[in-house]
Chains A and B, each alone.
Chain A
Amino acid sequence: MEPEMVSIPRLIVILLLASLSANAAGQEQSWLSRSGYYRISFESDLKPLVINQIHSWTFHVETQDGEPVVGATISATGGMPLHNHGLPTDPKMTEDLGDGDYRFEGFRFHMNGDWELSVTVDLNGRRDTVVIPLTI
């Protein structure tokens, strides 16, 4: 009885922590682009996201209805608004993996703190941007 009573709040804490750490490397969370054309999520090859290591991401792009967006062009820029500087690298889309997945290489973060990534998806001229906040 007693261990079970204790374990429920503990479980909540564990789940909360698990969801937070998942967000820090992408996966579960997704963001809707400004005009609502695309829903974007990402997964980092580097888990957890730590500073000073160059690594790759996979972006997943869907329509609002959950249909994978295939054949789009994606670009990403970013920086730390508080420091008035950008990413130390110029990451680029290197492969359209199909099924709404796009490989992106060359990410590196060189400071801990709050970052913002601006990701633009362009499918046949339908461009839309999403800003992904990221705390490292």
Chain B
Amino acid sequence: MSSRSRPRSGVIIVAIIIAGIAWWQFGPRSPHSWSATDIEVLASLSIDNLPPLPLDPSNAVADNEDAARFGQQLFFDQRLSANGQVSCATCHVPEKRFTDGLEKGRGIGLSGRNTPSIVGTAYSPWLYWDGRRDSQWAQALSPLEDPAEHGGNRMAYVRFISKDDAYRGRYEALFGPLPDLSDAARFPANASPLADSAAQDAWAAMAEADRHLVNSVFANIGKVIAAYERRLQPGPSRFDEYVRALTTGNTEAADDILSNEEILGLQLFIDEARCTECHNGPLFTNNEFHNTGMLSFPGDLPDRGRIEGVRKVQEDPFNCFGEFSNDPNRNCPELTYVRTGIELVGATRTPSLRNLGGTAPYAHKGQQQNLADVIDQYNRSPLAMIGHNEAENPLGLSRRELRWLEAFLGALDAPLATPEEWLTAPEN
């Protein structure tokens, strides 16, 4: 008996293994069936539902093409730095989706955080990982004076625009005459409230009215750079094509657009993995701040995140309430009703998930080397080093499911909607 049953049981085991492998390979079948609610959720993520670009009344030249051309020149101009070697594009590299592929940005020195992309940020009420600026133009000013980034000072930048004939012409066509800076007693070579101590002393010694003149020109530099950055918008991806096919009832065509793994990843994304709780809307971000327990590099102090960002944006002289806003009504709902509180300790801004391909490493310190690491973070859900990890329940997904999620994120990569001419340094 036993000698006859042994080979039979062997055959059964082999058959089970083969069936198992077959199920693993081909088990989850397409076409995938979505519920009506699922399709609603998918449509809410589609780029076809991206609202028109919100107006920026704080920036009078936000939608002025001449300003955008001028801003494009400044964006790529390395002369806007203390050593003549750093431009905005040094860290925001167009070929890398306007990021730099580094853990932390590197200008003149090493910056404190990972370089976020600029694409689509015109939709965000808050800029930076901690939201310490509330408009693209106010944000654009900050790196110019950061000693680790462009390392310059506002007085020197204003003088630079004033001395360069082409820039002076472009500036004055948009904003009217530049102030006369010839009196060195009134306008020193270097001055800023934020740069090195010599520049700070020089700034403090300037007359209030002169400081205002310099600040106004400096703000306008930010505004033309923002007019350029506003045009950097994501384009439709395979995910968007898929949703378009689904919502037009073209289910079979839909399943040719995404792979089986990507579709299964998408199902997890909107469902079990709970990604859409924060990565929602057509840009896959709620533009809000969350502590998700992203750990620091060993030896690094944890980042205090939004709790500091709130304070900084409220104090920023270039914020929506400030005197350099062009909105006569100072209509600033986000800043008016901004919230602080203990839960913002260690919270950072939800990044968009469009175009993550080729932009590793990820997270606010670049501490996640690849997308698999990021997804695994939510699967493990570690305790936050400071504050409280909001995503405190580990997802408990299998390794195969984690791969599906990663595959889906790849379906969000697409060329920008912005015409090519805006994606390189302009010819002068």
Contacts and interface: CB of A to CB of B under 8 A. Distances in A.
State the majority secondary structure of interface residues on B.
loop
A83 B290 CA distance: 11
Contact of A112 (B280, B289, B338, B343): B280
Nearest to A108: B337
A52 interface: yes
A111 B287 CA distance: 11
Contact of B339 (A90, A105, A113): A90
B68 to A, nearest CB: 26
Given A84-B392, A112-B276, A52 B339 contact: no
Given A84-B388, A84-B392, A51 B280 contact: yes
A86 interface: yes
Interface string A104-118: 011010111100000
B69 to A, nearest CB: 32
Given A88-B288, A110-B288, A111-B286, A54 B337 contact: yes
A83 B292 CA distance: 11
Given A86-B339, A89-B337, A105-B333, A52 B287 contact: yes
B336 interface: yes
Interface residues of B, number: 23
B277 A89 contact: no
Interface string B343-375: 100000000000000000000000000000000
B278 A52 contact: no
B337 A111 contact: no
Interface residues of A, number: 20
Contacts of A86: 339, 341, 343
B343 A85 contact: yes
Contact of B280 (A54, A85, A89, A111): A111
A92 interface: yes
Interface in A85-108: 85-92, 105-106, 108
Give the 10 A-B residue pairs with the shortest CB-CB distance, closest first: A106-B337, A110-B286, A90-B339, A89-B337, A110-B288, A54-B333, A88-B288, A111-B277, A85-B343, A89-B339
Interface of B: 125, 276-278, 280-281, 286-290, 333-334, 336-341, 343, 388, 390, 392
Given A90-B338, A106-B333, A111-B286, 6 more contacts: A54-B333, A88-B339, A89-B339, A111-B280, A112-B276, A112-B277
30 contacts: A51-B280, A51-B286, A52-B287, A54-B125, A54-B333, A54-B337, A83-B277, A83-B390, A84-B390, A84-B392, A85-B390, A86-B339, A86-B341, A86-B343, A88-B288, A88-B339, A89-B334, A89-B338, A90-B338, A90-B340, A92-B336, A105-B336, A105-B337, A106-B336, A110-B287, A111-B278, A111-B280, A112-B276, A112-B277, A112-B280
Interface of A: 51-52, 54, 83-92, 105-106, 108, 110-113
